[in-house]
Amino acid sequence: MLYPERFSNLPAHAWPRLRALLDVHEGGGPLIQMTIGEPKHAFPAWVTDVITQNAAGFNSYPPNDGSPELKEAIVGWIKRRYGVQMDAATEVMALNGTREGLYNAVIALCPETKNGKKPAILMPNPFYQVYMIGAISGASDPIMVPATAETGHLPDFHSLPEDVLQRTTAAYICSPANPQGAVADREYWTNLIALAEKYDFKIFADECYSEIYRDTPPVGALEVAQALGTDRNRLVLFQSLSKRSNLPGLRSGFVASGPDSIREIKQLRNFSGAPLPLPLQQAAAAVWNDEEHVEENRRLYAEKYDIADRIFGNVPGYVSPEAGFFLWLPVENDEEAAVKLWRETGVKVLPGSYLAQDVDGENPGQKYIRVALVAPKDETARGLDLIRDCLYSS
Protein backbone atom coordinates (compact mmCIF):
# COMPACT_ATOMS: atom_id res chain seq x y z
CA MET A 1 0.00 0.00 0.00
CA LEU A 2 3.01 2.31 0.17
CA TYR A 3 2.69 3.65 -3.36
CA PRO A 4 -1.01 4.54 -3.38
CA GLU A 5 -0.58 6.06 0.07
CA ARG A 6 2.11 8.39 -1.19
CA PHE A 7 -0.38 10.27 -3.31
CA SER A 8 -3.87 9.46 -2.13
CA ASN A 9 -3.70 11.88 0.80
CA LEU A 10 -2.17 14.89 -0.87
CA PRO A 11 -3.63 18.17 0.34
CA ALA A 12 -5.51 20.32 -2.17
CA HIS A 13 -3.24 22.62 -4.16
CA ALA A 14 -3.35 26.36 -3.42
CA TRP A 15 -4.99 27.43 -6.70
CA PRO A 16 -8.08 25.17 -6.64
CA ARG A 17 -8.51 26.12 -2.98
CA LEU A 18 -8.38 29.79 -3.90
CA ARG A 19 -10.91 29.35 -6.69
CA ALA A 20 -13.26 27.54 -4.33
CA LEU A 21 -12.87 30.35 -1.78
CA LEU A 22 -13.33 33.34 -4.07
CA ASP A 23 -15.29 32.25 -7.12
CA VAL A 24 -18.50 31.80 -5.16
CA HIS A 25 -18.56 35.62 -4.69
CA GLU A 26 -18.91 38.54 -7.08
CA GLY A 27 -15.81 40.73 -7.33
CA GLY A 28 -16.32 44.25 -5.99
CA GLY A 29 -14.55 45.94 -8.90
CA PRO A 30 -12.43 45.29 -11.98
CA LEU A 31 -10.14 42.32 -11.28
CA ILE A 32 -6.64 43.13 -10.05
CA GLN A 33 -4.73 39.86 -9.95
CA MET A 34 -2.14 39.75 -7.16
CA THR A 35 -2.19 36.04 -6.38
CA ILE A 36 0.25 34.23 -8.64
CA GLY A 37 3.98 34.98 -8.90
CA GLU A 38 3.85 35.28 -12.66
CA PRO A 39 6.08 38.16 -13.80
CA LYS A 40 4.39 40.55 -16.21
CA HIS A 41 7.27 42.88 -17.03
CA ALA A 42 8.45 42.56 -20.63
CA PHE A 43 11.03 39.92 -21.50
CA PRO A 44 13.71 40.96 -24.03
CA ALA A 45 12.13 41.49 -27.46
CA TRP A 46 14.94 39.55 -29.17
CA VAL A 47 13.95 36.30 -27.45
CA THR A 48 11.37 35.58 -30.14
CA ASP A 49 13.94 36.32 -32.89
CA VAL A 50 16.36 33.78 -31.43
CA ILE A 51 13.60 31.17 -31.32
CA THR A 52 12.59 31.85 -34.94
CA GLN A 53 16.17 31.82 -36.19
CA ASN A 54 16.72 28.44 -34.58
CA ALA A 55 13.35 26.94 -35.48
CA ALA A 56 15.01 24.14 -37.50
CA GLY A 57 15.92 22.67 -34.12
CA PHE A 58 12.30 21.58 -33.67
CA ASN A 59 13.29 18.82 -36.10
CA SER A 60 15.60 17.24 -33.51
CA TYR A 61 15.20 15.58 -30.16
CA PRO A 62 16.87 17.98 -27.76
CA PRO A 63 19.81 16.82 -25.63
CA ASN A 64 18.56 15.64 -22.25
CA ASP A 65 21.01 17.64 -20.14
CA GLY A 66 20.94 20.85 -22.18
CA SER A 67 22.85 21.90 -25.28
CA PRO A 68 26.57 22.71 -24.88
CA GLU A 69 25.77 26.41 -25.65
CA LEU A 70 23.16 26.57 -22.91
CA LYS A 71 25.37 24.85 -20.35
CA GLU A 72 28.25 27.20 -21.22
CA ALA A 73 25.94 30.20 -20.81
CA ILE A 74 24.81 28.88 -17.41
CA VAL A 75 28.36 28.29 -16.23
CA GLY A 76 29.31 31.78 -17.43
CA TRP A 77 26.44 33.29 -15.47
CA ILE A 78 27.39 31.39 -12.30
CA LYS A 79 30.95 32.67 -12.62
CA ARG A 80 29.84 36.28 -13.12
CA ARG A 81 27.23 36.18 -10.37
CA TYR A 82 28.96 34.08 -7.71
CA GLY A 83 32.61 34.00 -8.72
CA VAL A 84 32.48 30.20 -8.81
CA GLN A 85 33.85 28.30 -11.79
CA MET A 86 31.83 25.19 -12.57
CA ASP A 87 32.33 22.58 -15.24
CA ALA A 88 29.69 22.78 -17.98
CA ALA A 89 29.89 19.09 -18.85
CA THR A 90 29.65 17.62 -15.36
CA GLU A 91 28.34 20.19 -12.88
CA VAL A 92 25.24 21.74 -14.43
CA MET A 93 22.11 20.45 -16.11
CA ALA A 94 19.32 22.36 -17.85
CA LEU A 95 15.85 22.09 -16.36
CA ASN A 96 12.40 22.90 -17.66
CA GLY A 97 11.99 25.47 -14.92
CA THR A 98 13.12 24.81 -11.38
CA ARG A 99 9.87 23.21 -10.26
CA GLU A 100 10.70 20.04 -12.14
CA GLY A 101 14.20 19.83 -10.66
CA LEU A 102 13.06 20.62 -7.13
CA TYR A 103 10.50 17.84 -7.37
CA ASN A 104 12.88 15.24 -8.79
CA ALA A 105 15.81 16.05 -6.49
CA VAL A 106 14.64 13.80 -3.66
CA ILE A 107 13.99 10.86 -5.97
CA ALA A 108 17.39 11.26 -7.64
CA LEU A 109 19.55 12.04 -4.63
CA CYS A 110 18.04 10.80 -1.38
CA PRO A 111 18.35 7.25 -0.05
CA GLU A 112 15.25 5.35 0.97
CA THR A 113 16.46 4.80 4.51
CA LYS A 114 18.90 6.62 6.74
CA ASN A 115 20.42 5.11 9.87
CA GLY A 116 17.81 2.37 9.54
CA LYS A 117 14.91 4.82 9.64
CA LYS A 118 12.51 6.47 7.21
CA PRO A 119 14.28 9.57 5.88
CA ALA A 120 13.26 13.11 6.79
CA ILE A 121 13.34 16.02 4.35
CA LEU A 122 13.41 19.44 5.99
CA MET A 123 11.69 22.52 4.63
CA PRO A 124 10.55 25.94 5.79
CA ASN A 125 6.93 26.51 6.73
CA PRO A 126 5.48 28.37 4.75
CA PHE A 127 7.14 26.97 1.64
CA TYR A 128 6.94 26.46 -2.11
CA GLN A 129 4.46 23.60 -2.38
CA VAL A 130 6.61 21.35 -4.53
CA TYR A 131 9.04 20.70 -1.66
CA MET A 132 6.48 18.74 0.30
CA ILE A 133 5.34 16.65 -2.63
CA GLY A 134 8.96 16.00 -3.63
CA ALA A 135 9.60 14.64 -0.14
CA ILE A 136 6.48 12.46 -0.12
CA SER A 137 7.22 11.13 -3.61
CA GLY A 138 10.67 10.16 -2.39
CA ALA A 139 9.11 8.08 0.41
CA SER A 140 10.38 10.55 3.01
CA ASP A 141 8.74 12.47 5.83
CA PRO A 142 8.40 16.19 5.07
CA ILE A 143 9.42 18.09 8.21
CA MET A 144 7.99 21.61 8.35
CA VAL A 145 10.17 24.04 10.24
CA PRO A 146 8.63 27.40 11.17
CA ALA A 147 9.87 30.37 9.16
CA THR A 148 8.09 33.09 11.06
CA ALA A 149 8.69 36.61 12.34
CA GLU A 150 10.29 34.99 15.44
CA THR A 151 12.90 33.19 13.31
CA GLY A 152 13.58 36.08 10.92
CA HIS A 153 11.30 34.38 8.35
CA LEU A 154 13.91 31.69 7.71
CA PRO A 155 13.76 28.18 9.20
CA ASP A 156 15.95 27.35 12.17
CA PHE A 157 16.91 23.80 11.25
CA HIS A 158 19.28 23.65 14.23
CA SER A 159 16.25 23.65 16.52
CA LEU A 160 15.17 20.18 15.37
CA PRO A 161 15.50 17.19 17.67
CA GLU A 162 18.53 14.96 17.30
CA ASP A 163 16.47 11.95 16.14
CA VAL A 164 15.05 13.96 13.21
CA LEU A 165 18.44 15.32 12.18
CA GLN A 166 19.89 11.80 12.34
CA ARG A 167 17.46 10.64 9.65
CA THR A 168 17.57 13.80 7.54
CA THR A 169 18.70 13.30 3.95
CA ALA A 170 18.07 16.80 2.57
CA ALA A 171 16.85 20.28 3.44
CA TYR A 172 15.04 22.59 1.07
CA ILE A 173 15.78 26.25 1.61
CA CYS A 174 14.49 29.19 -0.40
CA SER A 175 16.49 32.43 -0.42
CA PRO A 176 15.27 35.03 -1.15
CA ALA A 177 12.25 33.40 0.40
CA ASN A 178 8.86 33.01 -1.17
CA PRO A 179 6.61 34.30 0.36
CA GLN A 180 8.37 36.48 2.96
CA GLY A 181 11.21 38.03 0.94
CA ALA A 182 13.79 37.18 3.64
CA VAL A 183 17.38 36.60 2.53
CA ALA A 184 19.79 34.07 4.01
CA ASP A 185 23.06 35.84 4.78
CA ARG A 186 26.56 34.37 4.79
CA GLU A 187 26.25 33.36 8.44
CA TYR A 188 22.97 31.57 7.83
CA TRP A 189 24.43 29.58 4.94
CA THR A 190 27.61 28.83 6.90
CA ASN A 191 25.61 27.43 9.81
CA LEU A 192 23.35 25.43 7.54
CA ILE A 193 26.30 23.93 5.70
CA ALA A 194 27.90 23.01 9.04
CA LEU A 195 24.68 21.28 10.12
CA ALA A 196 24.45 19.46 6.79
CA GLU A 197 28.03 18.26 7.15
CA LYS A 198 27.49 17.14 10.74
CA TYR A 199 24.39 15.11 9.92
CA ASP A 200 25.37 14.28 6.36
CA PHE A 201 22.44 15.68 4.40
CA LYS A 202 22.14 17.64 1.16
CA ILE A 203 21.02 21.24 0.80
CA PHE A 204 18.54 22.01 -1.97
CA ALA A 205 19.02 25.73 -2.44
CA ASP A 206 16.11 27.29 -4.31
CA GLU A 207 17.44 30.70 -5.30
CA CYS A 208 15.09 31.56 -8.15
CA TYR A 209 14.37 35.04 -6.71
CA SER A 210 18.06 35.90 -6.31
CA GLU A 211 18.12 38.52 -9.07
CA ILE A 212 15.23 40.59 -7.73
CA TYR A 213 16.78 42.58 -4.94
CA ARG A 214 17.24 46.19 -3.85
CA ASP A 215 20.90 47.24 -3.71
CA THR A 216 23.01 44.28 -2.70
CA PRO A 217 22.87 40.96 -4.55
CA PRO A 218 21.92 38.19 -2.08
CA VAL A 219 24.85 35.94 -1.28
CA GLY A 220 24.47 32.54 -2.93
CA ALA A 221 24.88 29.15 -1.29
CA LEU A 222 27.47 28.16 -3.89
CA GLU A 223 29.81 31.03 -3.14
CA VAL A 224 29.62 30.36 0.60
CA ALA A 225 30.27 26.66 0.02
CA GLN A 226 33.26 27.49 -2.13
CA ALA A 227 34.72 29.84 0.50
CA LEU A 228 34.31 27.11 3.13
CA GLY A 229 35.77 24.39 0.92
CA THR A 230 32.55 22.34 1.20
CA ASP A 231 32.12 19.33 -1.06
CA ARG A 232 30.04 20.73 -3.92
CA ASN A 233 27.99 17.57 -4.11
CA ARG A 234 26.36 18.49 -0.81
CA LEU A 235 24.87 21.64 -2.24
CA VAL A 236 22.34 21.56 -5.05
CA LEU A 237 21.48 24.95 -6.52
CA PHE A 238 18.27 25.63 -8.45
CA GLN A 239 17.94 28.69 -10.67
CA SER A 240 15.43 29.90 -13.20
CA LEU A 241 14.72 32.43 -15.93
CA SER A 242 11.10 32.68 -14.81
CA LYS A 243 11.59 35.52 -12.34
CA ARG A 244 14.98 36.95 -13.38
CA SER A 245 13.97 37.42 -17.00
CA ASN A 246 10.15 37.46 -16.91
CA LEU A 247 9.99 34.19 -18.82
CA PRO A 248 7.86 31.81 -16.74
CA GLY A 249 6.40 30.42 -19.96
CA LEU A 250 9.77 29.53 -21.46
CA ARG A 251 10.22 26.88 -18.75
CA SER A 252 13.94 27.26 -18.44
CA GLY A 253 16.07 26.79 -15.36
CA PHE A 254 19.07 24.82 -14.25
CA VAL A 255 20.49 22.72 -11.45
CA ALA A 256 24.15 23.02 -10.41
CA SER A 257 26.07 20.80 -7.99
CA GLY A 258 29.13 18.58 -7.79
CA PRO A 259 29.68 15.91 -10.47
CA ASP A 260 28.37 13.03 -8.34
CA SER A 261 25.06 14.70 -7.60
CA ILE A 262 24.62 15.91 -11.17
CA ARG A 263 25.38 12.40 -12.47
CA GLU A 264 22.55 10.99 -10.33
CA ILE A 265 20.15 13.69 -11.46
CA LYS A 266 21.05 13.14 -15.11
CA GLN A 267 20.60 9.42 -14.71
CA LEU A 268 17.01 9.91 -13.54
CA ARG A 269 16.42 12.43 -16.31
CA ASN A 270 17.66 9.98 -18.95
CA PHE A 271 14.51 8.00 -18.25
CA SER A 272 11.98 10.54 -17.12
CA GLY A 273 13.07 13.88 -18.54
CA ALA A 274 11.24 15.97 -21.11
CA PRO A 275 14.00 18.34 -22.21
CA LEU A 276 13.35 21.84 -23.43
CA PRO A 277 13.08 22.07 -27.28
CA LEU A 278 16.35 23.16 -28.87
CA PRO A 279 15.19 26.57 -30.17
CA LEU A 280 14.06 27.39 -26.64
CA GLN A 281 17.41 26.25 -25.26
CA GLN A 282 19.10 28.64 -27.73
CA ALA A 283 16.91 31.46 -26.48
CA ALA A 284 17.61 30.53 -22.85
CA ALA A 285 21.37 30.64 -23.53
CA ALA A 286 21.08 34.15 -24.94
CA VAL A 287 19.00 35.26 -21.95
CA TRP A 288 21.49 33.92 -19.38
CA ASN A 289 24.21 35.82 -21.27
CA ASP A 290 22.42 39.16 -20.95
CA GLU A 291 22.18 41.30 -17.81
CA GLU A 292 20.79 44.51 -19.27
CA HIS A 293 17.18 43.37 -19.13
CA VAL A 294 17.71 42.06 -15.59
CA GLU A 295 18.88 45.46 -14.40
CA GLU A 296 15.83 47.08 -15.95
CA ASN A 297 13.64 44.47 -14.28
CA ARG A 298 15.16 45.27 -10.88
CA ARG A 299 14.57 48.97 -11.46
CA LEU A 300 10.88 48.30 -12.09
CA TYR A 301 10.57 46.22 -8.92
CA ALA A 302 12.43 48.88 -6.91
CA GLU A 303 9.74 51.39 -7.90
CA LYS A 304 7.11 48.99 -6.64
CA TYR A 305 8.94 48.32 -3.34
CA ASP A 306 8.92 52.09 -2.82
CA ILE A 307 5.20 52.30 -3.51
CA ALA A 308 4.55 49.42 -1.09
CA ASP A 309 6.68 51.04 1.63
CA ARG A 310 4.84 54.33 1.20
CA ILE A 311 1.44 52.64 1.41
CA PHE A 312 2.08 50.12 4.19
CA GLY A 313 4.96 51.74 6.08
CA ASN A 314 2.70 52.56 9.02
CA VAL A 315 0.89 49.23 9.15
CA PRO A 316 1.96 47.42 12.35
CA GLY A 317 3.85 44.25 11.46
CA TYR A 318 4.57 45.31 7.87
CA VAL A 319 8.01 44.08 6.79
CA SER A 320 9.43 45.59 3.64
CA PRO A 321 10.72 42.67 1.57
CA GLU A 322 14.50 42.42 1.23
CA ALA A 323 14.12 40.76 -2.16
CA GLY A 324 11.69 38.90 -4.42
CA PHE A 325 8.36 40.33 -5.50
CA PHE A 326 5.88 39.42 -2.79
CA LEU A 327 4.45 41.29 0.16
CA TRP A 328 3.63 39.14 3.16
CA LEU A 329 1.07 41.30 4.85
CA PRO A 330 -0.19 40.68 8.39
CA VAL A 331 -3.96 40.20 8.82
CA GLU A 332 -6.21 38.78 11.52
CA ASN A 333 -7.49 35.93 9.37
CA ASP A 334 -6.09 35.20 5.89
CA GLU A 335 -9.17 33.69 4.23
CA GLU A 336 -11.51 36.30 5.63
CA ALA A 337 -9.19 39.07 4.46
CA ALA A 338 -8.92 37.57 0.95
CA VAL A 339 -12.71 37.22 0.63
CA LYS A 340 -13.35 40.73 1.95
CA LEU A 341 -10.80 42.19 -0.48
CA TRP A 342 -12.28 40.39 -3.45
CA ARG A 343 -15.89 41.21 -2.58
CA GLU A 344 -15.28 44.84 -1.78
CA THR A 345 -12.52 45.84 -4.24
CA GLY A 346 -11.90 43.24 -6.98
CA VAL A 347 -8.34 42.59 -5.73
CA LYS A 348 -7.36 38.93 -5.52
CA VAL A 349 -4.60 37.83 -3.11
CA LEU A 350 -3.54 34.48 -1.70
CA PRO A 351 -4.34 33.45 1.89
CA GLY A 352 -1.03 32.73 3.61
CA SER A 353 -2.19 29.42 5.07
CA TYR A 354 -2.45 27.99 1.53
CA LEU A 355 1.36 28.13 1.39
CA ALA A 356 1.89 26.42 4.73
CA GLN A 357 0.95 23.31 6.68
CA ASP A 358 -0.62 23.04 10.11
CA VAL A 359 1.89 21.92 12.70
CA ASP A 360 0.55 21.18 16.19
CA GLY A 361 -2.73 22.83 15.21
CA GLU A 362 -1.04 26.06 14.11
CA ASN A 363 -0.62 27.33 10.59
CA PRO A 364 2.15 29.94 10.32
CA GLY A 365 0.54 31.50 7.25
CA GLN A 366 -2.88 32.01 8.72
CA LYS A 367 -2.28 35.57 9.82
CA TYR A 368 -0.88 36.69 6.46
CA ILE A 369 -1.88 37.31 2.89
CA ARG A 370 0.60 37.06 0.03
CA VAL A 371 0.48 39.88 -2.48
CA ALA A 372 2.38 39.55 -5.77
CA LEU A 373 3.83 42.79 -7.16
CA VAL A 374 4.02 41.43 -10.70
CA ALA A 375 1.53 43.62 -12.58
CA PRO A 376 2.61 46.90 -14.21
CA LYS A 377 3.37 49.74 -11.80
CA ASP A 378 0.11 51.66 -12.04
CA GLU A 379 -2.04 48.58 -11.64
CA THR A 380 0.10 47.42 -8.71
CA ALA A 381 -0.19 50.82 -7.05
CA ARG A 382 -3.97 50.80 -7.54
CA GLY A 383 -4.19 47.31 -6.03
CA LEU A 384 -2.06 48.24 -3.02
CA ASP A 385 -4.11 51.38 -2.35
CA LEU A 386 -7.27 49.30 -2.42
CA ILE A 387 -5.75 46.74 -0.02
CA ARG A 388 -4.76 49.47 2.43
CA ASP A 389 -8.16 51.17 2.32
CA CYS A 390 -10.04 47.88 2.64
CA LEU A 391 -7.95 46.12 5.30
CA TYR A 392 -5.92 48.68 7.20
CA SER A 393 -7.86 51.92 7.46
CA SER A 394 -9.78 52.11 10.69
Ligand X SMILES: Cc1ncc(COP(=O)(O)O)c(C=O)c1O
Q: Which stretch binds ligand X (CB under 6 A): 94-102, 134-142, 284-292, 384-392?
A: 94-102
Binding of ligand X by 220 (CB under 6 A):
no
Among 18, 21, 35, 37, binds ligand X (CB under 6 A): 37
Residue 37 CB, shortest distance to ligand X, in Å, is: 4
Measured CA to CA, the distance from residue 26 to residue 40 in angstroms comes to 25
Residue 132 CB, shortest distance to ligand X, in Å, is: 13
Measured CA to CA, the distance from residue 123 to residue 157 in angstroms comes to 9
Binding of ligand X by 99 (CB under 6 A):
yes
x/- map, 279-318, ligand X, by CB under 6 A = ----------------------------------------
From residue 217, how far is each of 186, 301, 321 by CA, in Å?
A: 12, 14, 14
Residue 315 CB, shortest distance to ligand X, in Å, is: 24
Q: Which residue is nearest to ligand X (CB)?
A: 97
Contact 308, 373 (CB under 8 A): yes
User: In whole angstroms, what separates CA 159 from the centre of its chain?
Assistant: 23
Binding of ligand X by 364 (CB under 6 A):
no
Binding of ligand X by 39 (CB under 6 A):
no
Binding of ligand X by 253 (CB under 6 A):
yes
Which ranges of 83-210 does DSSP label H, i.e. alpha helix? 98-109, 130-137, 162-166, 186-199
From residue 60, how far is each of 17, 45, 49, 50, 283 by CA, in Å?
A: 40, 25, 19, 17, 16
Measured CA to CA, the distance from residue 325 to residue 213 in angstroms comes to 9
- For 185-196, b/e burial (b = at least 16 CB within 10 A) is eeebbbebbebb
Nearer to ligand X, 370 or 382 (CB): 370
From residue 263, how far is each of 59, 70, 87, 314 by CA, in Å?
A: 27, 18, 13, 51
Binding of ligand X by 70 (CB under 6 A):
no
Q: Which stretch binds ligand X (CB under 6 A): 17-25, 39-47, 91-99, 349-357?
A: 91-99
Binding of ligand X by 248 (CB under 6 A):
yes
Binding of ligand X by 98 (CB under 6 A):
yes
Nearer to ligand X, 125 or 178 (CB): 178
Q: Which stretch binds ligand X (CB under 6 A): 96-104, 163-171, 190-198, 369-377?
A: 96-104
User: In whole angstroms, what separates CA 311 from the centre of its chain?
Assistant: 26
Measured CA to CA, the distance from residue 266 to residue 94 in angstroms comes to 10
Q: What are phi and psi of 3, to 5 degrees?
A: -65, -50
Residue 275 CB, shortest distance to ligand X, in Å, is: 15
Amino acid letter, residue 201: F
Among 128, 188, 201, 305, binds ligand X (CB under 6 A): 128
Q: Which stretch binds ligand X (CB under 6 A): 1-9, 93-101, 184-192, 356-364?
A: 93-101
Nearer to ligand X, 42 or 194 (CB): 42
Nearer to ligand X, 298 or 382 (CB): 298
Q: Which stretch binds ligand X (CB under 6 A): 11-19, 95-103, 152-160, 287-295?
A: 95-103
Contact 210, 159 (CB under 8 A): no
By CB under 6 A, name the binding residues for ligand X.
37, 97-99, 128, 174, 178, 206, 208, 240, 242, 248, 253
